[in-house]
Structure 1
Amino acid sequence: MKVLKQNQYNQGVGKYKLLSSTSGVGSIITTKLGSYVLISDINKWRFIKWANSKIEIVRTNNTDDRKVYELSKSEISNRGIEFIDDQRFIKFIKSEKKLENLVCLIGIPHMALNESFNTPNWKNHPIRTALERTGEQFEGVSSHYMINGTHFPKWFKNGKGDLKKIGEWFSLWERECRSHPQTLKLDYFAPPRDAGHFIREMPSKNEDGNTITIREYKTLEQTNLILICPNGHLSDIPWANYLRWKTEKYLRIRKDDDNGEDLLSNEKVGPCCSNPKLKWTESKTKSEGYGSIYIECNSCGLGSGSDKDKPKINLEGINSLEPHCIGQKPWELDLDNPTIIPYENCFIRNDNNNGREKMRIALVTANNVYYTNGFSSLFIPMHIAENKPKELIDSINILEKKYTKHFERTAITRNDYWNTKFNFNDFLIDNDINPENEAVFKNQLESEFLSSANDIDINDKHEEYRWQEYRCFSTHSSLPNITENKGLRFKDIVLPNELTDFFKKIQQVEELKVTNVQLDFTRVKPKERIVVNGEVQESSSGQNIFSIDSKELYTLPANETLGEGLFFEFSNDKINSWVSENIGELENRFGKYLNAIPDSNSQGLSSKMKIYNNKYKHFLIHSFSHMMMRELEFSCGYPTASLKERLYISTNPEKQMSGVLIYTAEGSEGSMGGLVSQGEPEKILEIIKKGLERSITCSSDPLCWESEGQGIFDLNLSACFSCSLVAETACEEMNLGLDRRVLVDEEFGYFKSIQT
Structure 2
Amino acid sequence: MSDENRFLYDIAHAVDPLGDLEEEAEKAAKHNRAKVGSARPTSLLYTYGPGAIMDLPQFTIMPTGLDDWDRIWARRDSTPPQIHAPRLRDVVRMTLRSPDVQLRPYPWQPKKHTRSAEGNDLGVPARVFPQWLRCTGCDLLGLLSQFDYRNTHPYRTDLAVFEHAKCTGRVGSGARKAARRTAIPARYLLACPDGHLDEFPYDLWVHRGRPCAKAELPTLKMVDRLAGKGASAVIHCASCDLRRPMNEAQGEVGRGKLPQCRGRHPHLDAFEPKGCTNQTRLMLVGASNLWFPATWSIIVMPDSPQEKADDLADRVRTVLGDNLAMFRDQPAVIRALLATGKVDVTKLSEQELEDVLQAAAAPTDTPEQQEQKLRDWDPVDLLVPEWQHLLREFHGHRTEEPKSGLTLAKRERGPELRPEITRVLAVERLRKVNALVGFTRIDDMDRVGDLPRRLAPLTRTSRPGWTVATEDRGEGIFLQLDENKVAAWEKHVEDSVVWTHHREAHRRNFERRFSETADKVDHLTRLKPPRYWLVHTFAHILIRELALTCGYAAASLSERLYAWPAADGREPSAGLLICTTASDSDGTLGGLVQLSDPTRLQQVVNSALRKAARCSSDPICAMRTPQDPEDFLHGAACHCCVMASETSCERANRFLDRRFLLNLPGSALGFFEPHE
TM bin, normalised by shorter chain, reads 0.7 to 0.9
Taking the aligned partners of 2:62 and 2:358, their CA distance within structure 1 comes to 52
Say whether 1:326 aligns with 2:262. yes
Q: Is the 8 A contact 1:106 1:558 kept in 2?
A: yes
Taking the aligned partners of 1:457 and 1:347, their CA distance within structure 2 comes to 29
Taking the aligned partners of 1:197 and 1:169, their CA distance within structure 2 comes to 10
Flag the 1:371–1:752 CA change in 2: closer, same or farther, 3 A. Answer: same
Say whether 1:193 aligns with 2:124. no
**SS state of the match for residue 85, structure 1?**
coil
Q: Which amino acid aligns with 2:219?
A: L
Flag the 1:26–1:441 CA change in 2: closer, same or farther, 3 A. Answer: closer
Match of residue 511 from structure 2? 601
| Offset at residue 671 of structure 1 (A) | 2.2
| Offset at residue 611 of structure 1 (A) | 9.0
Q: Is the 8 A contact 2:86 2:311 kept in 1?
A: no
| Offset at residue 667 of structure 1 (A) | 6.7
Spell out, residue by residue over 1:442-488, the C-alpha distance to the aligned partner (whole angstroms, 9 max, x if none): 999999999999999362252211222222212354784344x3321
Taking the aligned partners of 2:423 and 2:616, their CA distance within structure 1 comes to 33
Say whether 1:84 aligns with 2:110. no
Spell out, residue by residue over 1:551-598, the C-alpha distance to the aligned partner (whole angstroms, 9 max, x if none): 4x4443332221011112223222112234x348x6122212236872
Match of residue 591 from structure 2? 674
Q: Is the 8 A contact 2:61 2:126 kept in 1?
A: no
Match of residue 189 from structure 2? 226
Flag the 1:442–1:365 CA change in 2: closer, same or farther, 3 A. Answer: closer
Flag the 1:714–1:402 CA change in 2: closer, same or farther, 3 A. Answer: same
Match of residue 278 from structure 1? 219
Match of residue 71 from structure 2? 49
State TM-score, norm by structure 2. Answer: 0.75
Flag the 1:17–1:36 CA change in 2: closer, same or farther, 3 A. Answer: same
Taking the aligned partners of 1:15 and 1:400, their CA distance within structure 2 comes to 27
State TM-score, norm by structure 1. Answer: 0.68
Flag the 1:637–1:722 CA change in 2: closer, same or farther, 3 A. Answer: farther
Taking the aligned partners of 2:616 and 2:159, their CA distance within structure 1 comes to 55
| Offset at residue 439 of structure 1 (A) | 9.2
| Offset at residue 624 of structure 1 (A) | 0.9
Query: What stretches of structure 2 of length at least 5 have no aligned partner?
Result: 1-29, 151-156, 170-177, 339-343
Taking the aligned partners of 1:287 and 1:425, their CA distance within structure 2 comes to 69
Spell out, residue by residue over 1:166-214, the C-alpha distance to the aligned partner (whole angstroms, 9 max, x if none): 21335xx99xxxxxxxxxxxx9995222221389xxxxxxxxxxxxxxx
| Offset at residue 503 of structure 1 (A) | 3.6
Spell out, residue by residue over 1:332-391, the C-alpha distance to the aligned partner (whole angstroms, 9 max, x if none): 34xxxxxxxx3223656xxxxxxx22212222222232222223232223x33xx62734
Aligned mate of 2:138, from 136, 141, 160: 160
Aligned 1:250-329 pairs, distance under 5 A: 269-270=210-211, 272=213, 275-280=216-221, 282=223, 293-298=234-239, 301=240, 303=242, 313-315=244-246, 317-319=248-250, 320=254, 321-329=257-265
| Offset at residue 644 of structure 1 (A) | 0.6
Flag the 1:574–1:325 CA change in 2: closer, same or farther, 3 A. Answer: same
Aligned 1:412-451 pairs, distance under 5 A: none
Match of residue 25 from structure 2? none
Q: Is the 8 A contact 1:487 1:513 kept in 2?
A: yes
Aligned mate of 2:564, from 650, 667, 683: 650
Aligned mate of 1:345, from 270, 273, 288: 273
Taking the aligned partners of 1:644 and 1:707, their CA distance within structure 2 comes to 26
Q: Which amino acid aligns with 2:167?
A: H
Would you say how many aligned residue pairs link Structure 1 and Structure 2? 602
Aligned mate of 1:16, from 28, 37, 42: 42
Say whether 1:26 aligns with 2:51. yes
**SS state of the match for residue 559, structure 1?**
strand
Match of residue 457 from structure 2? 544
Q: Is the 8 A contact 1:528 1:540 kept in 2?
A: no
Q: Is the 8 A contact 1:11 1:32 kept in 2?
A: no
**SS state of the match for residue 645, structure 1?**
strand
Aligned mate of 1:571, from 454, 459, 482: 482
Taking the aligned partners of 1:640 and 1:189, their CA distance within structure 2 comes to 34
Match of residue 697 from structure 1? 614
Q: Is the 8 A contact 1:108 1:558 kept in 2?
A: no
- Using the aligned pairs only, state the percent identity: 19
Flag the 1:85–1:402 CA change in 2: closer, same or farther, 3 A. Answer: closer
Taking the aligned partners of 2:576 and 2:159, their CA distance within structure 1 comes to 53
Q: Which amino acid aligns with 2:292?
A: Y
Flag the 1:554–1:271 CA change in 2: closer, same or farther, 3 A. Answer: farther
Spell out, residue by residue over 1:304-347, the C-alpha distance to the aligned partner (whole angstroms, 9 max, x if none): xxxxxxxx5444523313311112222234xxxxxxxx322365
Q: Is the 8 A contact 1:15 1:109 kept in 2?
A: no
Q: Which amino acid aligns with 2:51?
A: G
Match of residue 437 from structure 2? 519
Aligned mate of 1:660, from 571, 576, 582: 576
Aligned mate of 1:686, from 597, 603, 612: 603
Q: Is the 8 A contact 2:195 2:454 kept in 1?
A: no
Aligned 1:72-221 pairs, distance under 5 A: 72=79, 76=81, 83-109=82-108, 122-124=114-116, 127=118, 142=120, 144-145=122-123, 147-157=125-135, 159-170=137-148, 191-197=161-167, 217-221=180-184
Q: Is the 8 A contact 2:226 2:232 kept in 1?
A: no
Q: Which amino acid aligns with 1:237?
A: F
Taking the aligned partners of 1:610 and 1:564, their CA distance within structure 2 comes to 35
Q: Which amino acid aligns with 2:218?
A: K
Aligned 1:581-620 pairs, distance under 5 A: 582-583=492-493, 587-594=496-503, 598-599=507-508, 600-603=510-513, 613-620=527-534
Flag the 1:281–1:720 CA change in 2: closer, same or farther, 3 A. Answer: closer
Say whether 1:719 aligns with 2:637. yes
**SS state of the match for residue 294, structure 2?**
strand
Query: Of Structure 1 and Structure 2, which has the larger fraction of its residues in helix?
Result: 1
| Offset at residue 668 of structure 1 (A) | 10
Taking the aligned partners of 2:93 and 2:322, their CA distance within structure 1 comes to 17
| Offset at residue 104 of structure 1 (A) | 3.7
Flag the 1:84–1:280 CA change in 2: closer, same or farther, 3 A. Answer: same
Taking the aligned partners of 1:665 and 1:160, their CA distance within structure 2 comes to 47
Match of residue 417 from structure 1? none
Q: Is the 8 A contact 2:470 2:583 kept in 1?
A: no
Taking the aligned partners of 1:121 and 1:280, their CA distance within structure 2 comes to 46
| Offset at residue 30 of structure 1 (A) | 2.4
Taking the aligned partners of 2:167 and 2:67, their CA distance within structure 1 comes to 37
Q: Is the 8 A contact 2:108 2:123 kept in 1?
A: yes
Taking the aligned partners of 1:740 and 1:291, their CA distance within structure 2 comes to 42
Taking the aligned partners of 2:472 and 2:158, their CA distance within structure 1 comes to 38
Q: Is the 8 A contact 1:626 1:726 kept in 2?
A: yes
Aligned mate of 1:626, from 526, 533, 540: 540
Spell out, residue by residue over 1:274-330, the C-alpha distance to the aligned partner (whole angstroms, 9 max, x if none): 6222232637589998687242241xx262xxxxxxxx5444523313311112222
Taking the aligned partners of 1:426 and 1:111, their CA distance within structure 2 comes to 38
Match of residue 7 from structure 2? none
Taking the aligned partners of 2:102 and 2:232, their CA distance within structure 1 comes to 54
Q: Which amino acid aligns with 2:548?
A: F
